Amino acid sequence: MSVLTDVPATTSAADVVDTDILIIGAGPSGLYGAYYAGFRGLRVAVMDVLPQCGGQISAMYPEKPIFDIAGFPSVRGRDLVDGLVAQAEPYGPVYLLGQRAVELSRDEDGHPVVRSDAGTTVRAGAVVITGGVGTFTPRPLPAGEDHLGRGQVYFVPDPAVHTGHDIVIVGGGDSAFDWAATLAPLARSVKLVHRRDRFRAHGATVEKVRSLGIEIITDTEVTGLHGAEHLEEVTIRHRLTKDTRTLPAQTVVAALGFTANLGPLQNWGLELQARRIAVDTRMATSLPRVFAAGDITDYPGKVRLIAVGFGEVATAVNNAATVIDPEAMLFPGHSTEKEN
């Protein structure tokens, strides 16, 4: 099963889940944490507000090659997430997808109790927060809101859906150019519209899109999306000359970036630094039995890479294990020392 389709949760709303570790965030760090907790013999549940595993990778760039994962010269985002899910699968993690963690309390023994917006209650020995940038919301395309879901999209989890379409991509960042390059082989036509004449995207990505013959229209804004039941065309206007133009389009991808925040987590009493969670060398937060790892954390010298998140979440899980069971060893040994 591909994790980029809607993966059914293994519990239903309003359930009570008892587990050793609750991981909040099903991105790469959280999924690796699910494997590592299982490797340590711990029960683990994974909660995420998105309906699928993978976090930003699944939502924003599942087809994009990733070049900084150790051991992989290049790995497609979709394949990385699928591999992480498969790695954790033998240990039977409980997935609570499409649920936002909203409230943290304590039981009579001081153990964390987390409630989701779906009414699920999770009682855990420890919590590991791996929420990436937190909750991220796409920046809207004002002219396109009436066609959202009827031709206008923010993410492209399955490029094949847009095969044979005339596609207009709006934006000037890496996501916009990545989608242009990904969709070009499938589409009837691809045009990229950006309101400025400079791009935030990496120069090499811009040149790749140019080399594919994709028309890049600068200093231009989308002013209207048209079509009764389905999108048929887009109106654009040059910001300086005010000249207008109509483009055929059955798909508009609004790749305008996103806003991110910690959502309800910021009300839990965690020590925050620059809207991220402060942790120590154990990946422990300011709250007892609550750890954090990955892009959501901050400390002196922090580097935000997927590879760094893998190491951080292993550290978090190992230290959480010693809090759950004071007799447990911090380092359980290498996986190669375990019998298959």
Q: Is the pLDDT of residue 340 over 70?
A: no
Would the pLDDT of 78 be above 50? yes
Q: Is the pTM of this model over 0.75?
A: yes
Whole-angstrom Cα distance, residue 233 to residue 248?
4
Tell me what the mean pLDDT of segment 220-249 comes to.
95
| 157 pLDDT above the threshold of 90 | no
Cα distance between residue 100 and residue 108, in whole Å: 24
Q: pLDDT tens across 131-154, in order?
A: 877 666 788 998 888 898 899 998
- Of 137, 259, 249, the residue nearest 193 (C-alpha): 249
CATH ID of 140-256, from 3.40.50.620, 3.50.50.60, 1.10.357.10, 2.40.50.100: 3.50.50.60
Q: Where in the chain is the domain with CATH 3.50.50.60?
A: 16-136+259-337, 140-256
- CATH topology for 16-136+259-337 is FAD/NAD(P)-binding domain (3.50.50)
- Contacts of residue 141, defined as CB under 8 A and 6 or more positions apart, other chains included, come to 152, 170, 222, 252, 254, 256
Q: What residue numbers does the annotated binding site for FAD cover?
A: 29, 48, 56, 61, 101, 136, 295, 336
Element (H, E) at 176: helix 174-183
DSSP string, 274-301: TTEEE--TT-B-SSTTEEE-GGGEE-TT
- Residues 21-70: pLDDT tens digits? 999 999 999 999 999 999 999 999 999 988 889 988 887 777 778 888 99
Nearest CA among 27, 51, 34 for reference residue 93? 34
Which residues, at least 6 apart from 174, have a Cβ–Cβ distance to it below 8 Å? 200, 201, 202, 205
Binding-site residues from annotation: 29, 48, 56, 61, 101, 136, 295, 336
Are residues 194 and 170 in contact, defined by beta-carbon separation less than 8 angstroms? yes
Look at residue 3 in the predicted model and tell me its pLDDT: 41
